[in-house]
Structure 1
Amino acid sequence: MSIAVFASGSGSNFEELVHRSREENWPEQVTLLVCDKPGAGVLERADRLGVPARVFEPKSYPDKAAYERDVLALLTERGIRWVVLAGYMRLVGPTLLKAYPWRIINLHPSLLPAFKGKQAIEQAFHHPVKISGVTVHFVDEGLDTGPIIDQLPVRIEPADTLERFAEKIHRAEHELLPRTVRRLITGEIPLPDQPADL
């Protein structure tokens, strides 16, 4: 049993997860990358790290359910037990949620429930607030609404530019995500009660 990472972008959090899981000899390793963007930078990282990767293009499917059925077939074939969304820019639908109740987690670059959705870093910087941060949470059917697992605050200093603040957020992501995944797969963090309809 192992971990799949879903990513749509450059993949720095994916790479950090792979390195940490290997360095710390986690009982479950990252053994699959699922990407929805052909040509995304994360695919090059997966190739360099020797992690199998598959691209599923949503526009090639008639609907989200058909897309997720194909993804789920691969996850099942590969013995995936956990799904980590790390810069995956799609809402997860019922097909995957029912197959992986409380075993899909997401990394979000704000202190939820503040600044949900896209461009959370920019939203926090321009709001302005003095502290933002990063959140890892269980995924449910909503947009960044699932139960929060852990958070790491990041202060916005008066001298920070947007670029500098974004770098601080990314450093916090690289710290929080691997730590949280390791605690989950070792049972240190309990799972929420199963939803009644699953």
Structure 2
Amino acid sequence: MANEKQVLGVLCSGRGTDLQSIIDAVARGEVHATIGVVLADKPEAYALERARKAGIPAVCVNRKEYEDREQFEKALIEELAQAGVTLVVLAGFMRILTPYFVRAYAGRIMNIHPALLPSFPGAHAHRDVLAYGVKVSGCTIHFVDEGTDSGPIIAQAAVPVLDGDTEETLGARVLKEEHRLYPQVIEWYCEGRLQVEGRKVCVLPEKS
């Protein structure tokens, strides 16, 4: 599943802390890829500033400027294609992608979700985790399919839910695991070590 040199296109909607972890991992030589472009759907997204500080092309594709979702996604695809993107990385991108977009990059879109899927999908994972009363949460990295948070799971990390946790305190612990795990999974992809068979993703051994 890997090309000689992967080009990442990172889609964000907010602060971009997961993006920063990827930028840092690339700079340290832990992820053997280049970040071709960072796209945000909101002009105020701080992720754009993080990208610019790192010398990475940063583009706002403002959803409000497009008549419908297909036109918006067409603009995203055009930006990704122009940057030569081979792997789309969703890092806090708060819009559900339609089949139109998913089919354009089938098998080449990753997302990170702040809960242990298939439990607690959707936009309010920490709130839902605390309301349900589970004792363990975490994060999930998965390939994106045409459903919502339903694609094949690549990797997960568990985080305990503590008595007295708030969305903020739980979210901070989960985010720490996100920052560790996401660059690692991207590197597995770059190394061609991810093998998808139906719903299962196998991580192949490192090549000697």
TM-score, length of structure 1 as denominator length: 0.92
The reply on whether 1:29 has 2:34 as its aligned counterpart is: yes
Deviates further, 164-173 or 109-118: 164-173
Which one-letter code corresponds to 1:128 in the other structure?
A: G
User: What is the distance in 2 between the residues matched to 1:72 and 1:191?
Assistant: 24
- Whether 2:156 is the aligned partner of 1:151: answer yes
Secondary structure of 2:158's match?
strand
Q: Specify the SS of the correspondent of 1:171.
A: helix
Structure 1 residues not aligned, in runs of 5+: 194-198
Q: Match of 1:108?
A: 113
Which residue matches 1:163? 168
Structure 1 CA distance, aligned partners of 2:143 and 2:169?
28
Structure 2 unaligned residues grouped into runs of 5+: 1-5, 199-208
- Please state how far the C-alpha of 1:25 moved relative to its aligned partner: 5.2
Give the structure 1 partner of residue 181 of structure 2: 176
* Partner residue of 2:95 out of 90, 93, 98: 90
Identity of aligned residues (%): 35
| Partners of 1:27 and 1:160 in 2: CA distance | 37
Runs of 4+ in 1 over 6 A off after TM superposition: none
- Bigger shift: residues 85-94 or 56-65: 56-65
Determine the structure 1 residue equivalent to 2:139: 134
TM-score relative to the length of structure 2: 0.88
RMSD value over aligned CA atoms? 1.4
Deviation digits for residues 151-185 of structure 1, max 9, x if unmatched?
A: 00101122544322111011011011111111112
Deviation, 1:191, is 3.8
Residue-pair matches, total: 193
